[in-house]
Structure formats: C-alpha cells, structure tokens
Structure 1
Amino acid sequence: MVASPRLLPIDMEYLQQVLVELLEIPSPSGRTDHVQQYVGERLDALGVPFSVTRRGAINARLAGPRDDGADRAVVVHTDTIGCLVKSLKPNGRLELTPVGTHSARFSEGAHVWIFTDELDRVITGQVLPLKASGHRYNDGVDLQGVGWGLVEARVDEDVTDAAGLRKLGIDVGDFVALLPSPQVTPSGYVKSRHLDDKAGVAAVLAAFKAVIDAGITPPVTAHLLVTTTEEVGHGASHGLDQDVAEIVSVDAAVCAPGQQSDERAATVAMGDGTGPFDYHLTRKLAGLAAEHGVDVRRDVFDFYRSDVAAALEAGVHARVALLGFGVDATHGHERTHLTGLHNLAQLVSLYLQSELVFPEWDAEPEGELADFPSLAVQPATEEGPSDGPIGLD
C-alpha cells in the first residue's frame, strides 16, 4: 500500500546555495557543458544515478519499488538566453544576435563575458546602445529605438577595429553571456538574470533531496531530466525514458498584469501558447497543494512554451503539466522570492511521493476504450441532464 504524501522539510540553505552557484555559471543555449557538470556533481552528492545524452541532457533516476510499469519525469533546463557575435564591426565593437527570445532593451548596460575558441580565455565587455553618451547625442539617446541592430558590445581591450578583434581571438559565432549579478535581499527576494530556469533547477534538486533525506522510496520511479536547449525551442525533445507516463516541467511563471502568478507562490499552469495541459494531471497537482496547504496559483500563459512543448512535438506519449515559480520581469531583470521557491519545492516533493494519476491505465501505452479514464458523463445544462457519455451517441 502506498503511503500518503506528506509535507517534508525543505533545506532552504541548500536551495539558496545551489541557486547562486548555478547563476554564477554562464550557460547560454549551446554552451552548457560547465553547468551540466555542476548539476552532475550535485546529483552524485545526493546519490542519484544518472546518464548523459550525446547532446548533453542529464537523465537522473530516483528508483521506485517496481521495475515494470510506468515512470514519471520532472523536467528542468539549465540553458539561458544569451547572444552570439554576429559581426566584427569596423569600430572594434561587436554586433550581437540573440540566443533565445529576449529584447535588446534588457541587454542594454549588461556586463558580458565573450567566450573565444581558446577555452581558458574569457574577454569581458558591456552591451551599449549605439547612442550611449548623453553629452554627445543629448535627446537622441532617448529617441533611439529598441532592437539588436541598435546595440553593440564594447570590448574591454585596446581594440579599435575588426582586425584588432580578430587578433584577440574573437570571431563570428562566439558566445556572449549576459552576467547575472545575483542578489538575495534580507526580505527574501532573489534578483538576477537567468532565474529562468536556474531557480527551478535549485527548487527541484531541493525537492529530490527532501525525499532522499526522509528515507522515502517513491511509489513511482522518478526521472529528473535536465535539458540544455529549452530557450531555443528543443527542450525535452530527447532524453526521456520510454516508460515515462507523466511529465511535469518546472519553469518560470509569469508575474505581470493579467496573470495570477505570484513571486511568493508556486504556480500550476493550466495552459500556455501551445495549448492546455493534461486535465487530470494539472488538477491532481492543484489538489495536492490544496490538501497540504501549499500556496499555489493557477494561471494561463499566452506567449510561453516550456520543455514539455518540445516533448509533445517530438511525439512523446505521456500526460504533461507545468509547475512554476513566480518571476517578475521574465527574460529581463528577473526577480522571485525564496518563499515561492519553498512552495514549489514542497509541491514537487509531494508529487514525487504520490502515485500516477491513473496507475492502472497509464501503466501501459494503450488499452481498451471501456477502461479509458475520463469525465465519463456529459454535465447537465439548462436544457436538462445529459443522456449519455461524452462524445458517444
């Protein structure tokens, strides 16, 4: 018999340490080897076995009591938005192109690291608008528009032309990482670039740690898939175990006018730009939170996709859902709160202790229609009660 899920202590000192250390490792999509090494070391310390795919995704495994049947997966990503060098400019500065979807508005003023092909060498710099001096352009500084063609990276070296940049070892296609400048305030707010999704990684690792520290064997084998290309749309398109019946992605939840997400709460997303998430799994997650007093908000996101979108597009055969931590100014000057990360870690730990939504049905990839779990009866309307099952005459 499966024990009922219970609230577990979350090691917030561990969560905060992992979060800050993750943030300090630059990892724009396409250059994530270092951050994946760090995550692997953390998994080793927890005693969680894992493998690494050719493309660098990590698939860890917290074993349940059964070797057969279906598994579940929690998915996070370590890659972040960033830039590539698009061209070496005649003035000795760099034209940039974005990696992932983000506005040049929030890169203006960012300190950056430029990674050359010489592995041990990093060149510093800063992103500036083309009209950066008020003493030169006066009101022109404010009248300049927003766009990647209107900013450039100033390199912190004695260089005034393209030839000088090449002499430094800089070339087109080099990665440019926007430095995060993380800060945890006395009131518990976490301010940094790239909280998406490094705060999610830290919260999920803390949730797995809580289950392990409590000596709990989860009723269902749980995989932790750590992807490296979510920001460019590939996400969980590969690396998932074939036996996975449920996938819960963990990512930033949008705090903005018209949204219910909150920095101090976890979020159960009911849908995003790719459509609604699984009816039964989303409501199970919301129910676990309500039953155990975890502060959770339901939300729907318009201009948003996560790892599970790529998994579905790749043809994965599983129920999918999305949990989040509230983030203000996503893909900009981001901010969340430790309380929200605590709520998220608690909800993930509850989910890891629970059975599948439909353990008998979902144990196999397919079955008979008569056994299919569904909202079996059409709800009553003003015209009267339904006379039959949904979709059947």
Structure 2
Amino acid sequence: MNQEKYLDYIVEETQKVLAIDSPTGYTANAAEFVMEEYRKLGYEPQMTTKGGVFVDLGGENKDDGLVLAAHIDTLGAMVCEVKSNGNLKVSPLGGMNPNNAEAENCRIVTRFDGVYSGTFQLNNASIHVNGEYNDTQRKYDDMEVVLDENVSSAEETRKLGIMTGDIVCFDPRTVITESGYIKSRFLDDKLSVGILLGFAKYLKEEHITTKQRIYHHVTVYEEVGHGGAASMPDGVKEMISVDMGCVGEGLACTERQVSICAKDSNGPYNYDVVTRLIKAAKEEDIDFAVDVYPHYGSDVDVALGAGYDIRHGLIGSGVYASHGYERSHKDGVFNTFRLLCAYVK
C-alpha cells in the first residue's frame, strides 16, 4: 500500500481550508467546507451545536473509542472601536501578536454590508513623520486597521456598515516552495485538519476497519480555550490532539518531523499513550521527536479540564514561528500522517 499518494491530497486540502477565513467566532464557512469534504469521502459528518465538525469513521470497539481532534479556528481580531479618524481599533481573537501582525493585509467582515479590505498598522505609521516610530512598543492600543476606503471620520466609516463586533481576518499568505516547505499563517491548526482529512481518505480507500472506534472532532474554539470541552461520545476512552508540533530553541523537533508531546504547560500527557506513539514511530521507522512544550495548551487538555475520564496524547507536524508567519514541511506532514496510520493498527 502506497501511503505517499495521500500526501498531495493533504497539502491540497490544507491550501483550500487556509484560503477560507475562520478566526475564532467566525468559523461557519470553513466548517461547512470541511463537512462537505468528509461527505465526498463517504462519511456522514455532523455539526455540533458549537459549530464544530464531528465524524464517526467506523471501527469495531465503541467501548474503547478514540477521538482525533484538530481545530479549524484561527487567530484574528474584532473591531472594538470606530475611531474619530475613520480607522478601526481592534481587539485580538486568540493570541494574535501585534508585533508580527503589523503591516498585514486584512479583511473586515461586516454583519450586513459585505467585506472591506484594510491594513493593520501602527498609529501614525509613516517613519518620515513619526519620530517615535522605532521606539514605540507594538500594542493593540497603539495600532489600527487603515481601511482601503475614502473615509476620514467615524461617521463615514459607519456609513459603510462597519461597526463594533465585526470580524477582522488576516491574510494567510500561503506559499508552497519547490523544496517542500509550507509557509502560511494559521498552519496552527489547519495543517492538521488537512492531515485528518487525509487519514479519513486513507481508511476509506484502503478499506481499513480499526479495532477501536475512531472519531474526528474538528473544533472551532481552541484558540480561546474551550474547543474540546464538549461533544464526547459514549464509550470514548482516548483522545489525541493533532495540533502543531513546537519548533524552537531547547526543543528537538524540526519542521520535517512529527512531534510527540510528553508534557505541556498543563502537565504530562498520558504515559501509556505517549509510549505507544513512540513505539509505533520506532516500528515504522517514522522520523519523530519527543519534546516538552513550555507555553502550550491543547483541545485534549480542555477535555480533561471539562471532566472527561480519558487517556490523552498530542502529536503534530513540526511548525516554526508559531502564531506568526508559520512554516512546516511536507516531510513533517507525511510523518504525522504515517504515525496516525501506525498508531491505529
């Protein structure tokens, strides 16, 4: 069986879902896209009350079920003030850092009057005018969205239909290099959504019936801390978050590996699950690293906090520059996919 044929599908689906704006709180379009992709694969996905996507992939033992979770919500912002100059003050959705969002193109989604474009800038952003440009700390209070419209007052902006509570979506700038690197905002965690779709395709096309009942949960509030807090079917005993693997100083993982997390800021992952993941990677000669993530939380952490009595784990393709302009590699994607296939054997 040639697993490599699924890699192209994963990358194509990742690119498609990256192109659909889905900051936390504004995920319906992306969720419907994912629902339709599961339908095309022959599954019957359900939308949760919160707006996530839940899929039963089949398998034998419903009393020892496994949920594989990824999240489709991303970082973004919300309009919190229409300023007197016609520009927009915004509040972050999730951990969007203003230092690496500066000068990014964005879209403002109004509730009733369409979508407008703009750019996220420092207040008084011309360095030839602003003598304090270099010394100004980048904070949301000192930054604004400059609209690509002929407005110079709050009244003119409001006439466009823009108001407090509108969603601001930042440009992902997705690029796939000839050397196999995948560069984009929001690989956390749309890259893993692509991997889950590829895994679902693999199970269907290879006619694989797993010993455990397997479910996919594509959550929509992970970036604000309650994505995995609900929708656990009866009989589920285990949950693995497929999220970004951390890459940085002091960690072993690279963008070309699958990362297995042993501990994050909430504590250790289930010892037996981590051990079985490592064992499966070793047996299948999968390139992996085991790391401790110093500043991290996942959907499976949230599920435990919600009171579910489950074993838990976390894996993901290595991603550099997390919550910024992120980078991974097709090798890391393929190693993550292969580890999922090996783990459920």
Instruction: Identify the TM-score tier after normalising by the shorter chain.
Output: over 0.9
Distance 1:84 1:112 in 2: 12
User: Which residue is 1:95 aligned to?
Assistant: 89
CA contact (8 A) 1:204 1:348 kept: no
Distance 2:122 2:161 in 1: 24
User: Which residue is 1:163 aligned to?
Assistant: 155
Residue 56 (structure 2) pairs with residue 64 (structure 1): no
Distance 1:275 1:242 in 2: 25
Pairwise CA distance, 1:314: 0.5
CA contact (8 A) 1:7 1:292 kept: no
User: Which residue is 1:265 aligned to?
Assistant: 257
Distance 1:326 1:199 in 2: 10
* SS in structure 2 of the partner of residue 281 of structure 1: helix
Question: C-alpha offsets along residues 304-334 of structure 1, whole Å, 9 cap, x if unaligned?
Answer: 1010111011101100000011111100111
Return the TM-score normalized by structure 1: 0.86
Pairwise CA distance, 1:171: 0.5
Q: Using the TM superposition, name which of 171-180 and 47-56 deviates more.
A: 47-56
What letter matches 1:188 in structure 2? G
Residue 101 (structure 2) pairs with residue 107 (structure 1): yes
User: Which residue is 2:38 aligned to?
Assistant: 43
* SS in structure 2 of the partner of residue 205 of structure 1: helix
* SS in structure 1 of the partner of residue 63 of structure 2: coil
User: Which residue is 1:79 aligned to?
Assistant: 73
Pairwise CA distance, 1:65: 2.8
What letter matches 1:49 in structure 2? E
Pairwise CA distance, 1:122: 0.6
The structure whose Rg is larger is 1
* SS in structure 1 of the partner of residue 317 of structure 2: strand
User: Which residue is 1:117 aligned to?
Assistant: 111
Percent identical = 33
Pairwise CA distance, 1:53: 1.3
Pairwise CA distance, 1:52: 1.4
Distance 1:235 1:159 in 2: 38
CA shift in 2, pair 1:197/1:230, >3 Å: same
CA contact (8 A) 2:243 2:316 kept: yes
Over the aligned positions, Cα root-mean-square deviation in angstroms equals: 1.3
CA contact (8 A) 2:246 2:259 kept: no
What letter matches 2:208 in structure 1? I
User: How many pairs align?
Assistant: 345
Distance 1:253 1:151 in 2: 31
CA shift in 2, pair 1:248/1:10, >3 Å: farther
Question: C-alpha offsets along residues 247-292 of structure 1, whole Å, 9 cap, x if unaligned?
Answer: 0001111111111121000010001011000000011011100110
**The one of 147, 163, 166 aligned to 2:139:** 147
**The one of 14, 20, 26 aligned to 2:21:** 26
Pairwise CA distance, 1:8: 3.7
Distance 2:344 2:46 in 1: 20
Question: C-alpha offsets along residues 139-197 of structure 1, whole Å, 9 cap, x if unaligned?
Answer: x2211112111210000111111111110001111100111010000111111100000
Distance 2:253 2:187 in 1: 15
* SS in structure 1 of the partner of residue 244 of structure 2: strand
Pairwise CA distance, 1:50: 2.0
* SS in structure 2 of the partner of residue 12 of structure 1: helix
**The one of 202, 212, 221 aligned to 1:210:** 202
Distance 2:12 2:238 in 1: 29
**The one of 8, 17, 21 aligned to 1:13:** 8
1:1-393 matches, cutoff 5 A: 8-66=3-61, 68-118=62-112, 121-138=114-131, 140-353=132-345
CA contact (8 A) 1:10 1:210 kept: no
In structure 2, stretches of 5+ residues that fail to align are none
CA contact (8 A) 1:197 1:252 kept: yes
Distance 1:85 1:97 in 2: 6
Pairwise CA distance, 1:345: 0.7
CA contact (8 A) 2:63 2:236 kept: no
